[in-house]
Amino acid sequence: MEIKKGIGVSPGVVISTAVVLDAEDLLIPKRGIEAGQVEGEVERLKAGVAAAIVALGKLKDDVASQHGKEIGGIFEFHLGILKDKSLLSQIAAEIRTQKVSAEYAVSVVMRRYAGKFLRMTNQYLSERVKDIHDIEKGLLNALIGQRREDLAHLKTDVVVIAHDLLPSQTASLDRRHVKGFATDAGGRTSHTAIVARAMGIPAVVGLGNITSEVSGGDTLIIDGNRGLVIINPDEEQLAEHREFERRLERLEKELGGLRELPAETKDGHVVSLQANIEFPEEVDDAVLRGAQGVGLYRTEFLYLASDHEPSEEEHYDAYADAVRRLKGRPLVIRTLDLGADKQTQARALVPERNPFLGDRSIRMCLHDIPMFKRQLRAILRASIMGDVRIMFPMISTLMELRQAKMILNDVMEELEDEGADFRRDIPIGMMVEVPSAAYMANNFAKEVNFFSIGTNDLIQYILAVDRTNEKVAGLYCPAHPAVLAVVRDVIRAGARNTIGVSVCGEMAGEPLYTLLLLGLGLTTFSMNGPDIPEVKKIIRSTTMEHAKHVARKVMSFDSERQVMHYLRDELRKIDPDVF
Amino acid sequence: MPTASKEIVVSNKLGLHARPAMQFVDLANQFKSAVTVYKGGEEPCEADGKSVMQMIILAATEGTPLRIQAEGDDAEAAVQKLAQLFADKFGEGE
């Protein structure tokens, strides 16, 4: 029984069985398995070896056809080792006697041999150690590739442990059975945190080395409220956490009672609370929590969840699904925002030196108009099914915005020629996240129907901070006076030009900033579904007058610390339970 | 079960490196008998003649004496053929 402390980034408590997602490191930590799993693991080993042999055979053929049989012959040795039956039975024996995973057994046995090679005086032989490492790596890759398959088709409820979760990994997880996350790395705004909150499951990140402490099959308690992970808890802790779980359920019911009530201040000021989603299925949960619509549908996951660019039909199916589930409530679809931290770098032929500031998002779309049009066509076709709105991300110049609108117009004409039905006056908005757009908000406001302030990236650009870089992530702070000034000015520009303004970044869902945003005049907040009840509670517990007072006070401060202390105090007065 | 064995000396210049080791294993696999190769000297060791890994680990360089042993119905034929490989220097000419 062990207790590990990390950062709780998604609330809730879950007690379940662990599944460990290995990173592609060669350092495979010991993975103990149950006696009953041993034969299954041996089968996995055999399948992995067979797969590695096939993969190597293909590679050999490719190389031989390009460079001649001689070079292809290099792989003969590797194949010879992979087909070595006595080696296979040694690894299988390791699995059986030590009760460890196939990956661990492979590592142990191969490294034992590597050691023997290294110690040889004959230079030719001692150099063969490189081959041994290559073979080990190839085998591990084959085995790990297999494991990824298993995670897409889970049979029982599990919690997923990993070093860090990439969008590509979460996109292909079997979401019905995943009940919690715990990772070595990450912070409050990491991908793991975002997905966990969207799924409404507990998550703890920043645990440091949880992947080497947990074995597949261990029982874990993941406490997203207190940021704890308990490995193989004893009876007492199980009881304590079940009690905590019950209390949380009661709290949830209480907040659930808020669902039907409007997000209205005591003095009658009404705002709209909406949800950010990544998959259509999240709509149901969001609506249950009181979402009045979807303020941000992140469409990247359509691209990340598969190995090919989604077709127009695949786009359409997803959007139609989301619209249907919303039953008339508004849906804001953001066009492809793939970029720096979302994995495209791995696929790029020549990785960009500074992907954050590179060819991503709307820029990428304007460079690949056929791809852009596929998405736009699908959005327009879905627009007749409900209240659909379209939004362009990362707009930095008026030119870009006009180009995007022009292409949208082209698509409309194409659809018209085809006799397809769509909504001609579909509301067109843009993300305000690049500082240039924020500065010229007044100009941009004249050319769109609405703004959505993307505080996540806006803060990164304004403060020059990469929130995924653990060394500087602490500098990322929504409470920075410069950030607040920009947000205030964009809201004002919107009001001046009578267009709707929403905030769809994490800030919108953080109770700490609700009073402030309200007081600055924000009328639409879009956040992860699970965050809606708490934000609503705060809005219903205050007056617009008080919120304005809070905002005025905050805007007079010149440091994040002052801002946060003050906001914390004000929040505690309204909702003592919140911390 | 019939057994057979034969002593040979590694005579090709590069010794029992990857290619000859694989040739040996491929040939050994054609026989039903179990094949074991023994190396004496300062650090005696033995290898399963059907395992590429173990044969290579023998580190049988030029001049190393080895004993090929087979056990099974075709033991005699196995040992003869396998010894021949060494005598032919695995087709390496030197």
ipTM comes to 0.90
**Per residue in A95-108, pLDDT tens?**
999 998 898 899 88
Q: What is the mean pLDDT of residues A262-267?
A: 95
Taken in order A248, A250, A255, A259, the sign of the CA dihedral is: positive
Say whether residue A87 is in contact with chain B using an 8 A CB cutoff: yes
pLDDT of A167 > 80? The answer is no
3-state helix/strand/coil string of A438-453: HHCHHHHHCCCCEEEE
In the prediction, which pLDDT does A62 show? 79
Say whether residue A74 is in contact with chain B using an 8 A CB cutoff: no
**Of the partner residues B19, B50, B61, the one whose CB lies closest to the CB of residue A85:** B50
* Residue to substitute from A56, A78, A84, interface B, most B β-carbons within 10 A: A84
Interchain pair A86, B51: CB under 8 A: yes
Q: What is the mean pLDDT of residues A281-307?
A: 86
Catalytic-residue membership of A191: yes
Say whether residue A128 is in contact with chain B using an 8 A CB cutoff: yes
In the prediction, which pLDDT does A64 show? 78
* Residue to substitute from B13, B52, B54, B92, interface A, most A β-carbons within 10 A: B52
pLDDT of A404 > 90? The answer is yes
pTM strictly above 0.80: no
Structure tokens, A348:
């790029």
Place of tokens 């690894």: A91
Q: Which residue of B has its CA nearest to A116?
A: B57
Catalytic-residue membership of A365: no
Higher-scoring residue by pLDDT: A24, A310: A310
Say whether residue B76 is in contact with chain A using an 8 A CB cutoff: no
pLDDT of A569 > 90? The answer is yes
Average pLDDT score, chain A: 87
**Of the partner residues A76, A85, A86, the one whose CB lies closest to the CB of residue B22:** A76
In the prediction, which pLDDT does A279 show? 84
Share of residues in chain A with pLDDT > 70 (%):
92
Q: Label residue A25 by pLDDT band (50, 70, 90).
A: very low
In the prediction, which pLDDT does A351 show? 64
Instruction: Find the helix packing angle between A511-519 and A532-540, rounded to 10°.
Output: 50
Q: What is the mean pLDDT of residues A443-451?
A: 98
Specify whether the CB–CB gap between A228 and A221 falls below 8 A.
Answer: yes
In the prediction, which pLDDT does A345 show? 46
Higher-scoring residue by pLDDT: A247, A268: A268
**Per residue in A297-324, pLDDT tens?**
999 878 776 667 889 999 999 999 999 9
Q: Which residue of B has its CA nearest to A88?
A: B51
* Radius of gyration of chain A measured on its C-alpha atoms: 27
Q: Which residue of A has its CA nearest to B20?
A: A77
Task: Please identify among residues 6-65 of chain B the ones whose CB lies closer than 8 Å to any CB of chain A.
Answer: 14-15, 17-19, 21-22, 25, 48, 50-54, 56-57, 59, 61
Which residue in the list B6, B14, B17, B54 is annotated as catalytic? B17
